Amino acid sequence: MKSAVGKLNIGVGLITMAGFMLYGFYLIYARDFAPDKEAWIAGSAVHPHFEARLAHVHGNLFALLNIVFGYLLLKLPIEIKSAKVISYLSLFGIVMPLGILGEIYFGLPPIFVLIGAVSIISATLLFGIKAIQMKEK
């Protein structure tokens, strides 16, 4: 069912946004309230603090994109096969900011960042093409 495709993006987008909001509150704590906040501030322009901010920003951006894409998938007359591909590519794009966090905290390789980036770009490009190709009813 097509409507389930958009609902999944909206739900996952909202949950992801809440998670990255909480992470943002942690970053505020680390900068303003933690016992070693001076050291954190001094290193804020370099790895890993810079990348932590990148993860926070991209996580919320990709969450918002999933919410918007989900809503549009519910409302626009895009064929089900393309809608599912757009939906899953967009959802998999969330791997990018999670990959940044994986690099920072677990030393994971950057392949997850690249996979997520390619996924969200592909979803956006395909959605744009399908929107231009839409037939009015």
pLDDT in tens, 103-128: 999 999 999 999 999 999 999 999 99
- Side-chain half-sphere CA neighbours of 119 within 13 A: 22
Q: How far, in Å, CA of 59 to CA of 50, rounded? A: 14
Residue-wise pLDDT tens digits, 58-76:
999 999 999 999 999 999 9
Q: Which two tokens stand for residue 135?
A: 């037939």
What domain range includes position 68? Answer: 2-133
Low-confidence winner among 6-15, 49-58, 87-96, 105-114 (lowest mean pLDDT): 49-58
pTM for the model: 0.89
- pLDDT value for 41: 76
* Residues above pLDDT 70, as percent of the chain: 96
Q: How far, in Å, CA of 102 to CA of 119, rounded? A: 18
- pLDDT value for 128: 97
Nearest to 74 by CA among 83, 63, 82: 83
- Supply the mean pLDDT for the chain: 91
Per-residue pLDDT for 24 more than 80?
yes
Domain count, the chain: 1
